[in-house]
Structure 1
Amino acid sequence: MSPPPETHLTAFAGFQRIASGPRAKVIAQVRKQCAGSGQVQPFVFDDSTGERLDIDLREGEGAPAIANDEPSARGVGRPKLGVVAREVTLLPRHWEWLGRQPGGASVALRRLIDEARHVHADRDAQRAAREATYRFMTVIAGDLSGFEEAARALFAGDRARFDAHIANWPEDVRAHLHKLATAAWSAAA
Structure 2
Amino acid sequence: MHPSQSQSCTAFDGHRLIASGSLREVASATKRAIDAGAKGPVLVFDDQTSLPVEIDFRGSQDDVLSRLGLAQAATETAPRGPGRPRLGVVAREITLLPRHWEWLAEQPGGASATLRRLVEDARRSEQDRARRAGEALDRFMQAMAGDLPHYEEASRAYWRGERDRFDQLVETWPADVRDHARRLAAAAWNDADAIA
**Which of the two has greater helix per residue?**
2
Aligned residue identity for 2:190:
S
With structure 1 as the length reference, what TM-score do the two structures score? 0.79
Aligned residue in 1 for 2:46 = 46
Task: Tell me if 1:100 matches 2:103.
Answer: no
- The correspondence for 2:147, drawn from 126, 143, 148, is 143
The runs of 5 or more residues in structure 1 that have no matched partner are none
Aligned residue identity for 1:134:
D
Task: Tell me if 1:186 matches 2:193.
Answer: no
- The correspondence for 1:123, drawn from 124, 127, 133, is 127
With structure 2 as the length reference, what TM-score do the two structures score? 0.77
For residues 7 and 135 of structure 1, the distance between their equivalents in structure 2, rounded to whole angstroms, comes to 17
**Secondary structure of 2:39's partner?**
coil
For residues 20 and 31 of structure 1, the distance between their equivalents in structure 2, rounded to whole angstroms, comes to 13
- State the aligned residue count: 182
CA gap of 1:41–1:141, structure 2 versus 1, over 3 A, is closer
Task: Tell me if 1:34 matches 2:29.
Answer: no
Task: Tell me if 1:81 matches 2:87.
Answer: yes
TM-fit CA distance, 1:110:
2.4
CA gap of 1:38–1:184, structure 2 versus 1, over 3 A, is closer
Greater alpha carbon shift after TM alignment, 39-48 vs 23-32 = 39-48
Q: Deviations over 1:90-121 (max 9, x none)?
A: 22222111112222222222233333444x2x
- The correspondence for 1:64, drawn from 45, 67, 79, is 67
For residues 113 and 104 of structure 2, the distance between their equivalents in structure 1, rounded to whole angstroms, comes to 9
Greater alpha carbon shift after TM alignment, 33-42 vs 97-106 = 33-42
Q: Is residue 13–residue 41 contact of structure 1 (8 Å, CA) maintained in 2? A: yes
**Secondary structure of 1:83's partner?**
coil
CA gap of 1:65–1:40, structure 2 versus 1, over 3 A, is farther
CA gap of 1:113–1:19, structure 2 versus 1, over 3 A, is closer
RMSD value, Cα: 2.9
Aligned residue identity for 1:177:
A
CA gap of 1:90–1:170, structure 2 versus 1, over 3 A, is same
TM-fit CA distance, 1:181:
2.2
TM-fit CA distance, 1:187:
4.3
For residues 40 and 5 of structure 2, the distance between their equivalents in structure 1, rounded to whole angstroms, comes to 30
The runs of 5 or more residues in structure 2 that have no matched partner are none
**Secondary structure of 1:45's partner?**
strand
